[in-house]
Amino acid sequence: MAEKFEIEIRVPYAHTDLMATVYYSHYFEYFERARVELLRHIGFSHKKLEQGGTCLVVTEAFCKYLRPARYDDVLILRPWIADVGSASVLIEYEILNKETGAIVTKGSTKLAFVDGKGKVCRAPQDMAERLKQEIQS
């Protein structure tokens, strides 16, 4: 089995409440960071997509909160390509506490490929092929 792509972040104080617990909404920000880095890792930055006349737009987002993360925790963000359609991609995520190894949250985002006029369009062929390879690896 291929090693999962992952990045680490340290929870900043600004992402927490008075009890030093991460606000739920910041997990979506962490999903965003993980997605951007995963796409860059496999060779497709958002800048490159935009230069080709395409962008990715989040159409669905899901987050299941399992346990709290706190200020100064180091989190491991693990994104992976779960499904690729002709005009969309589904990315799933796990966020783990590095110290304990416990999964803090799980989730997914579904993204649509959109052209410069704001219409849903097919994924660029090279990207669609590479994303499908990622599922199989």
Tell the residue number behind the tokens 């792509």, with chain if given.
5
CA distance linking residue 60 with residue 85, whole number of Å: 14
Residue 98 near residue 75 (C-beta atoms within 8 A): yes
The amino acid occupying position 45 is S
Cα torsion 76, 77, 80, 82: sign: positive
pTM for the structure as a whole: 0.91
| Percentage, residues of the chain above pLDDT 70 | 96
Q: 62 or 2: which carries more pLDDT confidence?
A: 62
Phi then psi for 42, rounded to 5 degrees? Answer: -90, 5
Domains of the chain: 7-136 (3.10.129.10)
Residue 33, classified by CB atoms within 10 Å of its CB into exposed (0-12), middle (13-18) or buried (19+), is: middle
Considering just the CA atoms, what is the radius of gyration of the chain in Å? 16
Give the pLDDT confidence of 38-77 residue by residue, as tens digits: 999 998 888 888 888 899 999 999 999 999 999 999 999 9
Q: What pLDDT, on the 0 to 100 scale, is given for residue 1?
A: 34
Q: Is the pLDDT of residue 96 over 80?
A: yes
